């Protein structure tokens, strides 16, 4: 079983690579957003807590997210887990480390998809153009202005995790600007050595 975090700014390809890992290695992608929606619809005690917070228009606490992650980890996965959208802050990274240790698990790798910001904006604009050409509505976050805001937010809150995991010896870097198949191959090589 392998537990990893995929790091990188919005548009770096984390979702694409996570889907590839679930297909190739049987890993389970733990997406914070998906877990919150699933919990809300579940009717469980945790689901009611999530619904109450979301209905008030508030952000779900780190404690609740860690609780949801713990539930998923207890369900198990032979292939391991991909943490997607969590951790986003140093406090969350500490909480995840404590949870894994308490459960007798570990983080095998933190893989940073290294990308060029200007090229990322180009990717987003191209994606929006392709969506329009297909006659579909463009995602509201697929505009250069909104994307620039998302990048700033990433560098302000999440980028410190790069140094945090580097200091722990967990950080591995992959060229996120390479072809999708090449990025997948580089990640596979890292995981095979982990």
Report which of 12, 11, 62, 9 is spatially closest to residue 187, judged by C-alpha positions.
12
Catalytic residue annotation: 14, 88, 127, 139, 150
SS3 102: helix
> Residue 104: left if φ>0, alpha if ψ -120 to 50, beta else—which one?
left
Identify whether the C-beta of residue 77 lies closer than 8 Å to the C-beta of residue 24. no
Identify whether the C-beta of residue 103 lies closer than 8 Å to the C-beta of residue 73. yes
Going from the C-alpha of 5 to that of each of 94, 107, 147, 154, the distances in angstroms are: 13, 8, 22, 15
Strands 28-31 and 171-175, sheet pairing:
unpaired
Report which of 2, 7, 31 is spatially closest to residue 111, judged by C-alpha positions.
7
**How many residues does this entry show for the chain?**
194
SS3 78: coil
Cα torsion angle, 20, 23, 25, 30, sign? positive
């Amino acid at each position: 079983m392998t537990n990893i975090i995929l790091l990188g700014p919005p548009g770096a390809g984390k979702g694409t690579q996570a889907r590839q890992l679930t297909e190739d290695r049987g890993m389970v992608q733990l997406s914070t957003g998906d877990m919150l929606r699933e919990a809300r619809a579940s009717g469980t005690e945790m689901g009611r807590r999530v619904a109450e917070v979301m209905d008030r228009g508030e952000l779900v606490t780190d404690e609740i997210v860690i609780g949801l992650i713990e539930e998923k980890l207890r369900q198990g996965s032979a292939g391991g887990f991909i943490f997607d959208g969590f951790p986003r802050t140093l406090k969350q990274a500490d909480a995840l480390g404590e949870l894994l240790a308490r459960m007798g698990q570990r983080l095998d790798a933190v893989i940073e998809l290294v990308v060029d910001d200007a090229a990322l904006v180009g990717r987003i604009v191209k994606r929006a153009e392709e969506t329009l050409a297909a006659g579909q509505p463009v995602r509201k976050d697929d505009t250069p202005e909104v994307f620039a805001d998302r990048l700033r937010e990433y560098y302000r809150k999440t980028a410190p995790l790069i140094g945090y995991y580097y200091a722990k010896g967990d950080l591995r870097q992959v060229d996120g600007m390479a072809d999708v198949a090449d990025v997948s191959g580089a990640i596979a090589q890292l995981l095979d050595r982990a």
